[in-house]
Structure 1
Amino acid sequence: MTAHPLIQVIGLRKAFGGHVVLDDVSLEVRAGEAVALLGPNGAGKTTLLRILATLLRPSRGVARVAGYDCLRQAERVRAHMGLLAHGAWVYEDLTPFENLKFWATLGGLPHGRDALNGALAAVELDRVADERVRTLSLGMKRRLALARFVLARPPVLLLDEPFAGIDQRAGKWLDGHLGAFKAAGSAILMTTHSFGRGLGVADRIAILAAGRVAHDTPLGALTLDDVRRLYELHAEDGA
């Protein structure tokens, strides 16, 4: 692992009017590390990801991605991270090939036929490359979104509920591919409010409650029951 974290949050606060969503949040994720951010709905998980993705401005504190400040160096941050928002965020009336070509062209990435077909093959969508996206399952749409990361190879992945709504087979596939990104040195921060999903690839869990990181610990040998007990102790008490 590198000496410096690829994701760094220090004393982060975000308020919407008088409603404080994040309050003095600090968190780090290093290269080759995946952190699962747990917490109930409304805990501030998505807000934190949106700040790191430069989609929201923090009220106070520091957020850095790959060493770049999310507020002052937003363009550089965007060039070094990939965001998978809740939902697939794909164009339903285009084909997977057309979606990927659009994203690649917009992002200044390789968009020749060989590069695009290679990325689709990497996420096992080459057989449906010319089908309309609206005919694909949610799991396949998530794969299409991940194909962007195959092209861009960002050092930081921000994933908002990536396992929501997909079946067990698709979940195992996603686990394996996120593990490959991690093995290649990417830092992964993913949100979830369900136990079991995503923990297979996570090295640490951070529990967000009442706008604060209530607990941050290596996953190590923790069982699913251990994680559930920690969640009940910290998240539910802080709700």
Structure 2
Amino acid sequence: MKYALVTGSTSGIGLAIASKLLKEGYFVFANYAHNNENAQQAAQVFASISTNYTIVQADMSNLDGILKLCEAVKNQCPHLNYLVLNSYATDKTAFELVTLDNWHHVMDMNVNMPFFLMQQLYDQMAEHGAVVCIGAMMGIHPHAISISYSVSKAALHMLCQSMVKVYAAKRIRINAVCPGFVETPAQSNKAPDHRQRIENKIALQRFAEPDEISDFCYSVLSNSYINGSIIPISGGYDMA
């Protein structure tokens, strides 16, 4: 049996990635922080595909949550083949009102805790395994609406590349996949005119479907030579 962990995987892109891995025959550890309704809906989706999954409630914004998730993984599987770091936070507080707590929360979720999760699971990772960090186009293009999100995703991209040599001894590959705008619940409250402005900046004139992102992530995970890459999948964002 091959094993995979996907953080933040009961809705949106994470749910699509976890479902894809289940379909490919992996035992999947899924994860969520607080939304029990999403977790119940995800369990129904997973159960329609396979019984080879476990959903672990653990908050990925703090070390206690990281340790809780790692303990669950270590207790239930002999090794981990794939790790997908998908949990994230954003903050759209107006620039002049951002507090230190606002800033730290985004940095902890998007940069600091991914580092410590990889540290805790290093021995658990199987040789020739793979890690994908879910980065963002907003870590490539400046994003003033949420500066902390943009900065943290750029930092995650560098963390990903910095980990290449750490993982090299075990022949573990690590890459960052950087989606643009995707049809997820997080995008559902955008005003029609705002959405149209975004679509006008995308060469394909539409948001991505979650399955398009998950299929690409699986390709990156399973390709034996992609390593240390920061890979956009944006439909041609900022190229229209």
- TM-score class, shorter: 0.3 to 0.5
Structure showing the higher helix proportion among its residues = 2
Instruction: Compute the TM-score of the two structures, normalised by the length of structure 2.
Output: 0.37
Higher relative contact order (CA 8 A, sep 6+): 1
Structure showing the higher strand proportion among its residues = 1
Instruction: Compute the TM-score of the two structures, normalised by the length of structure 1.
Output: 0.37
